[in-house]
Amino acid sequence: MPKPPPYGSLSTRRTVDGALARTNAQSRPAGHATSCQQLAAPAGDARRRSRVDDALAAGQLTICSERRDCTHVVAVVGELDVATAQRLEDALRTIEATDVEQVIVDLAGLTFVDSSGVHLITRAEERCRTTAKRLGLRPGPAQIQRVFALAGADTLPFAA
């Protein structure tokens, strides 16, 4: 059986209230913190799923964060653009202010990224480099990686 990546295996799931969340598929040992900014959904299971899907289609971004020892994983789902970039910027700055040694940004759940999202990731990498922290990026889908390549940001530390 292949060994999972050091930061665990992230998966998308719906929470009890129907919101979309990215979580670690492995069990979390005591002392590992997890948080997720979830999309609100109205009562009613079918309506909740529909509302979350509509929100994602309308350009929403969900940010899930989990700390495992000296590594902090931030998974983003949805659209990273000028309207949502500040939320991710705030989350990354909060994490960078802690004692973590490595920050991993999981882009696999992105459906869209614009230049403000690429710029945000580039700035985060520069900040981590100047503070002796490591930033790792889990690549997004092909259309997301293409935007990074077109912007000349494909030299960022993407995991293989």
> Where are the chain's structural domains?
10-150
**Whether the Cβ atoms of residue 146 and residue 107 lie closer than 8 Å to each other:** no
Q: Whole-prediction pTM value?
A: 0.66
Q: Structurally, what CATH architecture does the domain formed by 10-150 represent?
A: 2-Layer Sandwich (3.30)
**Whether the Cβ atoms of residue 107 and residue 116 lie closer than 8 Å to each other:** no
Instruction: Provide the CB-side half-sphere exposure for 24 (13 A, CA).
Output: 20
Name which residue leads in pLDDT, 55 or 132. Answer: 132
Residue whose C-alpha is closest to residue 40's, from 56, 18, 64:
18
Query: What is d(CA 49, CA 82) in angstroms, rounded to the nearest whole number?
Result: 26
Q: Tens digit of pLDDT for each residue in 44-53? A: 555 545 554 6
Instruction: Pull the structure tokens for residue 28.
Output: 């979390």
Percent of the chain residues past pLDDT 70, beyond the cut: 62
Band (pLDDT 50/70/90 cuts) for residue 154 is confident
